[in-house]
Amino acid sequence: MKLRTHVNLIVASLSAALVVLAAWLQFDGTRRSVNEEIAGANIVATQLLARMIVGLDRGDDRLLLLFLQQLGRVRAHEITMRTADHQVIYQSPPSPYKAGREAPAWFAQLILPTTPVHVFPLASGSEIRVEANASRAILDGWDNLIDLMIVGGLAFAVLNAAVFWLVGRAVAPWPVIVDGLSRIERGDLQHRLPELKGHEAQMMGATFNRMAASLEEKQISDRKAVEAEQRLQQRRELDQIIEQRLDEERRLIARELHDEFAQSVTAIRSFAVVIMNQHPAESRTAEVARLISTEAARLYDSMHGLIPRLAPLTLDTLGLAETLEGFIKQWQGRHPSIRFSLRHQLPAELGDSISIAIYRVVQEAVINAVRHGNPTTIAVDITCSDSTARVRITDNGVGLPEGWSRPGHFGLRGLQERMAMLRGTLSLVSHEPHGVELTAEIPLGARV
C-alpha cells in the first residue's frame, strides 16, 4: 500500500470516528432533552389538570370542556376528553411548529421513553386522558442530526481531499528518490538527484547524492584494485616464467662449468704439471708452469664454489636432503669457527619447485648470516607436515643491520617473490639480545 493511501485511510478513519462520535453525542443529547421535556411537561399537565378537575368537576362537563379549549396544547402532551360512551368531545390541537413533518418512526422509538398514560375520571362518567407526545422535540433532534451529518460529511470530504492533496505534495519527491535508487541498483552510479522540495526531501537527496558519489568512487577504486591485481598476477606469472628460465640457465651454466670448464681447467693444470716436470725446478719455464698450475687450481676451487650458487646439481641425482647436508659440510669446512647444525624431516618427493625453494632459503640465510651476522652457531631446521614444509634458520649473530629492509637487498626480495609464487610466507625477525630467525612456510601442493 502506498504511503499516500495509508495516510488518507488513517485520516479518513479518524475523521469518520469523530463524525460518528458527534452524531452519537447529538443523538444522546436529543434523547436526554426529550426525556427531560416529557418529564417536566408531565408534571405540569397532571398537576394542573388534577387541580382544575377537582375544582370544576360538578357533574357538568361543559366547564371542563371550556377550560380545555381555552388551555390549548400543553407542551409535549396530548389531552383527550371522552364521554361515558367513549366519544371524543375534545382533543388537543396539533402543534403549528413544523406542521406536516414527522421524524422517522425508528428514530422516534429510540428517542421516546416509555411513559404512563394518565387518566382522570369525572363525576359524569367522562374521562380525561393525558399522553406524552414529544414529536416536535424528536423532529428537532432528527433535523439537528441530519444537519450534523451533512456538515460532518462535507467536513469529512473536504478534510480528506485536503489531506490527499497535501500528502501528495509532501511525497511528490519520493518517486524521484525511488527511481534514483533503482538506477543505482542497475549500476548507474553516475546518476544524481535534482534539488527536491521540502527540508526532509532535500536532506534525503543530499544523502543520496553523497552515497552515489561514494559508491562511484568505491567502484572506481575496486576497478583499479582489480586491474592492479590482474597486473600483479600477470607480473607474477611473468616472474614465474623468468624464474624458471633462470633456473634452467643456471643449471645449464653449472653443468657447463662442471662438465666442460672444469675438465678444461683440469687439463690446463695437468699440462702445467707435465711442463713443470720436464724442466729443471730452477728454470724459468718450470716457474711459469708452477704459476699456471697454482692459478688453475685456484680457478678450479672458485668454480666449484660458484657452481652451488648457480644451481645445486646434486638435487637431480642425490635429492634435497643430501644436497643440504653437502652444503652445510662445505660451509662448515670453510668456516670451522662456526658450529653448523642441520635437522630435517623430508619426504621422498617434494617436487622440483619446492626443493629448489627450500634450498635457496637455506642458502640465502646461511650466506647472509656468515657475511653480515658474525655468528658462532647457525641452526637449520626443516620439518614437513601433510600440507606444509617449514624451514627455520637461526643464528646468534649481531642481528639485523639498520636499514636491512630498504630496497637493494635483492636476495631477500628474490626469496619473497619465490615464496609468493609458491603461495608461501617468509618472515625475518631479530631476537634480543642478538640473533636472527628466518622462517619460510611453503604449501606442499604449490607448483610453479
In the block, cell 388537543 appears at 92
Does the pLDDT at position 412 exceed 80?
Answer: no
> Is the four-CA dihedral 343, 348, 354, 355 of positive or negative sign?
positive
Cα distances (Å, whole numbers) of residue 228 to 176, 222, 233: 37, 10, 8
Residues 182 and 137: their CA atoms lie apart, in Å, by: 64
| All three cell numbers of 19 | 463524525
Instruction: For residues 138-153, give the mean pLDDT.
Output: 86
Q: Which of 371, 421, 422, 369 is nearest to 392 (CA)?
A: 369
d(CA 432, CA 399): 8
- Predicted confidence at residue 448, as pLDDT, reads 45
Using CA atoms, how far apart are residues 135 and 99, in angstroms rounded to an integer? 11
Most confident option among 117-121, 215-219, 278-282: 215-219
Residue 393 · residue 380 · CB < 8 Å? yes
Q: Please tell me whether residue 430 adopts helix, strand or coil conformation.
A: strand
Bridge partners of residue 440, in order along the sequence: 391, 426
For the segment 39-53, what is each residue's pLDDT rounded down to a tens digit?
Answer: 766 676 677 667 666
What lies within 8 Å, CB to CB, of 201 at 6+ separation is 173, 174, 177
278-298 burial string, b = 16+ CB within 10 Å, else e?
eeeeeeeebeebeebbeebee
The values of phi and psi at residue 91, to 5°, are: -145, 140
Helix axes 320-334, 352-368, angle to 10 degrees: 10
Q: How many CB atoms lie within 10 A of CB 15?
A: 18
Quote the DSSP letter at residue 103: -
Report angle CA 290, 295, 298 to the nearest 5 degrees. 130
The DSSP H or E segment spanning 443 is: strand 436-443
Identity of the residue numbered 348:
A
Mean pLDDT, the chain, rounded, equals 79
Task: Please give the sequence-ordered ranges of beta strands (E in DSSP) within 125-275, or none if there are none.
Answer: 127-132
pTM strictly above 0.75:
no
Q: Is 282 a residue whose pLDDT tops 90?
A: no
Q: Rounded to an integer, what distance in angstroms lies between the CA atom of residue 366 and that of residue 52? A: 142
For the stretch 286-321, pLDDT in tens is: 788 778 888 878 777 776 666 666 656 566 677 888
